Chains A and B, each alone.
Chain A
Amino acid sequence: MTVPRAVDEPARLGPDDSTLIRRSLTEAEEFAAVFDRHANAVHRYLSRRVGTAVADDLTAETFLVAFRQRQRYDLSQPDARPWLYGIATNLLHRHRRTEVRQYRALARTGVDPAVEHDAERVVARVAATTASRRLAAVLAKLPVGERDVLLLIANEEFDYADVARALNIPIGTVRSRLHSARKRMRAALADLDPRTHEGA
């Protein structure tokens, strides 16, 4: 007798992204499900990189571009996240100067222009150490390709393969960019207390 499959993985219910995208080739509206599933996460990624204001615009644009390019989606990939983040990252490059300026301001003043300025957060951020200000300085100076790799891995917890897919670069390049970025960070933080980075 056939025993029905366990039903303890509700998160996996529903068609995967590639199925939705394949269907959207003939039924365009199916693409809406891709939006519903990932719009919040894409917005969060963009918001963390350039602040909410820019993220608001780029989220919409990301999905428009994705929809127009859906014929190019690799249907063997069930998860559309790397693809969407790659599009978002490309769009971000137009705002590279904004991003760098924000990191510079954070490095100089300890206040992050990309983060909402409600009082408690600012206080918390101001108290947020020499380490974060130095880190911001490093991020401001990183080559854009290294910053893309670093932030996808650190903030979005992508693995190397996901990053490679998102940025359309070989996995070896992902590794070397990450290595280089981390070397710069460690150098900048070297004289701080290694356990907390709170010293000096």
Chain B
Amino acid sequence: MNDLELVRELRGDPPDAEPAVLLSARFALQREMRGDTGRPGAGRWRLATAGGLAALLAIAVIVAQNGPPAPNGTVADAAGILDRAALTAAHEPILPARPDQYVFIESIEGYHGETYDCDGKADQSHCTAIPGPVTRTLRQMWSSVDGTHDGLLRDRPAKNTGAWNETPIPFCPNAAPVTNAVPGASGVPVTNAAPATNAVPGASGVPVTNAAPATNGARGANGVPGTNQPGTNGSPTNQPANNQPPADNCTPRPAYLINLPTSAPAMTDYLRARANETTNGDLFTAAGDLIREAYLPPAALSALFQALGDVPDLTVAQDAVDAAGRHGASVGRDAHGFRNELIFDRTTFAYLGSRTIAGQDIGKITIDGQSAQLRVAIVDRLRQLP
């Protein structure tokens, strides 16, 4: 042991700071920051991403910021729920991945079948749709981390253990045709690799994988790999005006979205650009599609929830059920006759799933679609389970 090591040994490693101590230090800083900006709305805590603080601290910060929870222990406002969800997301450990691995996402998707009251009748001019029972499908999807390998989607009814229905997610479908290819592959490259269209008819997931190539397309179009900075990559100004993949459709479509913006304003810009292309400008749907079909690192997921917190006209449903039957609180927005919601655990504020409700009256809801995210992991091979 040399003298420097002896100095280090003298006091060893001190214990970590008490969460309450850091909390109070953070409050002091926060007061200072607010005083500095003087902006209205600055009082809403913009959390730091990828923080090293304990989740305990994080939650405490938000509680203090948004005032005490409602008497029954719930967070009543949409921004409060999304803030907490953002903090929870930010403190998740990042899933490390190699480019040759796969993002594994397991979910349940539920959709209403529909019948029509005029079925079989001669006069079909005044049909009313009658919602049938919900069909729930268990989905397992493997998507290439760097987007350069074939992926796989398989699904089966959630209530049995029958055979899987497998659907390849080809990387270069035109170069290597797959028998089970998605209809329209030649004409519409964007939907070509979108497994959701394949799996569940009527799924709102059409633009889903579309989100992944967007980052990538920007990178390829810039021609400068690896130089994209988080925060600028997603900016619409940074995207080519025509963001179509090349005709060969062999542009990598990473499912591990490492270059997404990590600040709320940049994420808002990014989501807006996605939404304008794919979801009639609905940020909420664009965000849900992103979460359901790709891996967002904690900082990006956190930024996404923060960004949604800035969306106007959000409302809260205190008891929303996801496709796995889990109860949570949902934040939602009415758009185009549907209400799209993201559902969060009421205690941990972890993302549970989503649902789409037909009509705007939550009191008398008709579930149009549901999802539940069960597992997200990184694995080495197709069909490998975590």
Contact = CB atoms under 8 A, between A and B. Distances in A.
Interface string B104-132: 00000000000000000000000000000
B176 interface: no
A155 interface: yes
A114 B12 CA distance: 11
Interface in A1-48: 1-8, 10, 13-15, 19, 23, 27-37, 39-40, 43-44, 47-48
Contacts of B37: 27-29
Interface residues of B, number: 68
Contacts of A63: 25, 28-29
Contacts of A10: 94, 96, 297
A5 B258 contact: yes
Contacts of A154: 4-5, 7-8
Contacts of A108: none
B56 interface: no
B9 A132 contact: yes
Nearest to B33: A28
Contacts, number: 201
A6 B101 CA distance: 11
B22 A32 contact: no
B98 A64 contact: no
Interface stretch (A54-62, A75-83, A87-95): A54-62
B187 interface: no
Interface in B14-61: 14-18, 21-22, 24-26, 28-30, 32-34, 36-37, 42, 45-53
A31 to B, nearest CB: 6
A-side interface size class: 35 or more
B229 to A, nearest CB: 7
A135 interface: yes
Contacts of B225: 2-5
A56 B377 CA distance: 38
Contacts of A33: 48-51
B14 A47 contact: yes
Contacts of B318: none
A13 B29 contact: no
B8 A32 contact: no
B220 interface: yes
Contacts of A131: 6
A174 interface: no
Contact of B17 (A23, A59, A185): A59
A13 B219 contact: no
A145 B209 CA distance: 58
Contacts of A34: 48
30 contacts: A2-B225, A4-B216, A4-B219, A8-B98, A13-B50, A14-B262, A15-B263, A23-B263, A28-B34, A29-B42, A29-B45, A32-B46, A37-B50, A37-B51, A48-B14, A52-B17, A60-B24, A67-B33, A115-B11, A115-B14, A131-B6, A132-B9, A135-B10, A136-B10, A151-B7, A182-B3, A185-B7, A189-B6, A196-B1, A197-B6
Q: Which 8 A-B pairs have the closest CB atoms?
A: A36-B51, A33-B48, A60-B25, A29-B46, A154-B7, A36-B48, A47-B14, A32-B48
